[in-house]
Amino acid sequence: MKLYDCAVAPNPRRARMFIAEKGLDIPKVEIDILGGENLKDSFIAINPRGLLPVLELDDGTRFDEAMAICRYLEELHPDPPLLGTTPVERAQIACMQRKMEFEGMIATSEVFRNKLENDSFAYRSLPGVPSPAIPGLVERGTQTLKRFFISLEKYLEGGNKFIMGDRFTMVDITAVCAVDFAKWTATVTACAGTMKYLHGQAPVPEYLLPAITKAPFGAFFS
Look up the CATH number of domain 87-214: 1.20.1050.10
Please enumerate in sequence order all residues whose Cβ is within 8 A of that of 126, keeping only pairs 6 or more positions apart, or say none.
113, 134
Helix/strand/coil for 181: helix
Q: How many helices (H) and strands (E) does the chain have?
A: 8, 4
Bridge partners of 62, per DSSP, are 56
Q: Is the pTM of this model over 0.95?
A: no
Q: Render pLDDT for 134-193 as a digit per residue (tens, 0 to 9).
A: 888 888 988 888 888 888 888 877 777 889 988 899 999 999 999 888 887 655 444 443
2-76 architecture in CATH? 3-Layer(aba) Sandwich (3.40)
d(CA 43, CA 48) in angstroms, rounded, equals 8
The answer to whether the beta carbons of residues 67 and 97 sit under 8 Å apart is yes
Where along the chain do its domains lie?
Answer: 2-76, 87-214
pLDDT tens for 45-73 read 999 999 999 999 999 999 999 999 999 99
